[in-house]
């Protein structure tokens, strides 16, 4: 048995923040989704549970042929603590190339993937955006969408007036956007061609109402990822021409929005397709300008690993990393 020793790069949370260029993440994810991605490259996530804590793993092989990796999430809801770690292995040598603090990566890849979807789905060149929510997820989405260069107007609603007004003021100052905080979700949605649902109600009742639907609308739903969670009402799901999902099987069988529709006997599977099929042009998502499209996201290991890959490339270019003094042994077998 031959042992091969090498160093491993570590990218800490602070450097992840410096390296996470929105345009680079969107480009990397667009390129990844445009390539063949098989189910075996992105297997279902797993979770080990203890008493009041859990460890989740999300693994993927990148279509870049450079790296494969895993995001580990250790969380204790009872103690209100969590840690995130991404490991990247070289696909050829099997060496541990990098360990990356994953704290910021979930929000970054979620928002950037939504921007990829909006670029592929929105009928109009210029985006009139409604955002429901004003927290970290909503902020990430507007950062990412602004990086597409397509944002024309933004209206934001969240239940706390001070929060939505601070959100609007921050982004107006940052990007000189036409952005306004409004007093209701309905007011935010009126006239929008892209709706970002980035918040759930406290009682898990839907935050989007089908009465607000307009022809040609693209709706992004990212915060209802479990069976007990809801963002979109049943009629909105029914009226959608097509539902585009990052993980179709998980969206259909593990999200409250989809389960509520299937509970009354409606078939969603026949009009649910993968984001990869849309971006790679295997499927034409929008066949008519009036079509109503939904992008439903539960998060994907592919998004995590492709984002981490991009961070590693940028870290090497900008020397924003630490070399670990030791690494794991890679063996011949």
DSSP labels, 120-183: HH-SSSSEEEEEE--SHHHHHHHHHHHTTT-EEEEEEE-SSHHHHHHHHHHHHHHH---EEE-S
Q: Which helix (H) or strand (E) holds 82?
A: strand 81-90
Instruction: Tell me the mean pLDDT in the region 195-202.
Output: 89
Interatomic CA distance for residues 35 and 306, integer angstroms: 12
Contact, 118 vs 146, CB < 8 A? no
For residue 285, give both structure tokens: 């998502």
pLDDT tens-digit readout, 247-273: 999 999 999 899 999 999 898 999 999
Contact, 8 vs 324, CB < 8 A? yes
Answer with the residue of higher pLDDT: 24 or 7: 24
Report pLDDT for 1.
43
- pLDDT value at 225 more than 90: no
Nearest to 82 by CA among 62, 100, 102, 63: 102
For residue 61, give both structure tokens: 């092989």
Answer with the residue of higher pLDDT: 1 or 297: 297
- pLDDT value at 205 more than 90: no
Confidence band, pLDDT 50/70/90 cuts, at residue 2: very low
pLDDT tens-digit readout, 149-188: 999 999 999 999 999 999 999 999 999 999 999 999 999 9
Interatomic CA distance for residues 213 and 194, integer angstroms: 11
- pLDDT value at 325 more than 80: yes
Instruction: Tell me the mean pLDDT in the region 227-236.
Output: 92
Confidence band, pLDDT 50/70/90 cuts, at residue 5: low
The DSSP bridge partners found for residue 49 are 54
pLDDT tens-digit readout, 134-152: 999 999 999 999 999 999 9
Confidence band, pLDDT 50/70/90 cuts, at residue 123: confident
Interatomic CA distance for residues 255 and 52, integer angstroms: 22
Mean pLDDT computed over every residue of the chain: 94
pLDDT tens-digit readout, 290-315: 999 999 999 999 999 999 999 999 99
Instruction: Tell me the mean pLDDT in the region 264-287.
Output: 94
In the chain the domains, ranked by start, together with CATH numbers, are: 3-105+301-331 (3.30.1780.10), 107-296 (3.40.50.720)
DSSP labels, 235-270: HHHHH-SEEEESSHHHHHHH-HHHHHHHHTT---GG
Q: How far is CA 208 from CA 59, 104, 248, in A?
A: 32, 27, 21
């Amino acid at each position: 048995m031959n042992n091969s020793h090498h160093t491993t790069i570590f990218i800490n949370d602070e450097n992840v923040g410096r390296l996470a260029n929105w345009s680079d993440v969107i480009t990397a994810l667009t390129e990844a989704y445009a390539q063949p991605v098989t189910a075996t490259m992105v297997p279902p996530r797993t979770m080990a549970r203890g008493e009041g804590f859990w460890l989740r793993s999300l693994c993927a092989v990148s279509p870049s042929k450079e790296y494969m990796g895993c995001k580990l999430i250790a969380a204790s809801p009872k103690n209100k603590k969590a840690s995130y770690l991404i490991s990247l292995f070289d696909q050829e040598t099997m060496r541990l190339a990098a360990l990356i603090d994953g704290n910021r990566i979930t929000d970054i890849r979620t928002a950037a993937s939504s921007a990829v979807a909006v670029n592929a789905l929105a009928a109009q060149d210029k985006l009139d955006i409604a955002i429901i929510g004003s927290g970290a997820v909503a902020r990430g989405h507007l950062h990412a969408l602004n990086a597409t260069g397509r944002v024309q107007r933004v209206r934001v609603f969240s239940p706390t007036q001070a929060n939505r007004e601070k959100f609007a003021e921050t982004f107006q100052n940052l990007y000189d956007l036409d952005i306004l905080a409004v007093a209701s979700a309905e007011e935010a949605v009126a006239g929008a061609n892209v709706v970002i649902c980035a918040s759930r109600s406290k009682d898990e009742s839907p935050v989007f109402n089908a009465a607000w639907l307009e022809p040609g609308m693209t709706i992004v739903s990212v915060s209802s990822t479990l069976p007990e969670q809801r963002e979109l009402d049943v009629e909105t799901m029914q009226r959608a021409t097509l539902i585009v999902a990052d993980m179709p099987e998980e969206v259909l069988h593990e999200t409250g929005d989809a389960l509520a529709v299937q509970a009354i006997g409606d078939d969603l599977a026949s009009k649910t397709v993968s984001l990869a099929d849309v971006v790679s042009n295997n499927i034409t998502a929008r066949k008519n300008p009036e079509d109503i499209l939904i992008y439903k996201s539960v998060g994907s290991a592919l998004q995590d690993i492709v984002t981490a890959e991009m961070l590693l490339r940028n870290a090497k270019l900008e020397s924003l990393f630490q070399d670990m003094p030791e690494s794991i042994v890679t063996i011949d077998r």
